[in-house]
Amino acid sequence: MTGVEVVTASAGDQDAVVGILRAASAAGAGARASTWGREFPDVIRDLPAGLVHLARLDGRPVATFVLRWSDERVWGPDDGEAGYLHRLATHPDVAGRGLGAQLIAVAADLICGRGRRWLRLDCDRDNERLRAYYEGLGFAHAGDVDYLPRTTRPGYRAASRYQRAVRQ
């Protein structure tokens, strides 16, 4: 895919980022739609910190992800060895074109640039399709976590943790 540019999102990109997340959530195969909801206060909170990234295809916003440097709720105390990928989403108009894998590669480069060794993420334990996607990209299952408070709506979820070494 040519013409893809990934930038650190700014406050002015908030509507584009949230729009991509909502579109991806609505198009999800049921599991993601019910998991994510429609509001993303965590992403809005992360925008000023420079943790949200936006991909544009030929100038049009089409995908997003958040890269945090700790995730104590899911992974425990920060060991200084990883970056944590969250909210990876592509707009349904560009789904299936390999953009997700490209964004994961960008996240891996950012992590490597910080001198860290691992790209870590989590997903809903019951989302077998997404788990297979990550495993197909070389991620190893690193255990499950139960009773995680949800970020975007009331309730709890069970998550599967995955990690993959980054190039160094």
Question: Which structural domains are found in the chain, ordered by start?
Answer: 4-121 (3.40.630.30)
pLDDT at position 103, please? Answer: 97
Nearest to 8 by CA among 49, 45, 55, 53: 53
Question: Is it the case that residue 81 has pLDDT exceeding 90?
Answer: yes
Does 80 score more than 80 pLDDT? yes
Q: Please give the angle made by the CA atoms of 141, 146 and 148, to the nearest 5 degrees.
A: 110
Distance CA(49)–CA(127), nearest Å, equals 30
Query: Distance between CA 30 and CA 73 in Å, rounded?
Result: 25
Position 66 scores a pLDDT of 98
- Cα end-to-end distance, the chain, whole Å: 25
Does residue 54 surpass a pLDDT of 80? yes
For the residues 19-38, what does the mean pLDDT come to? Answer: 73
- Report pLDDT for 168: 52
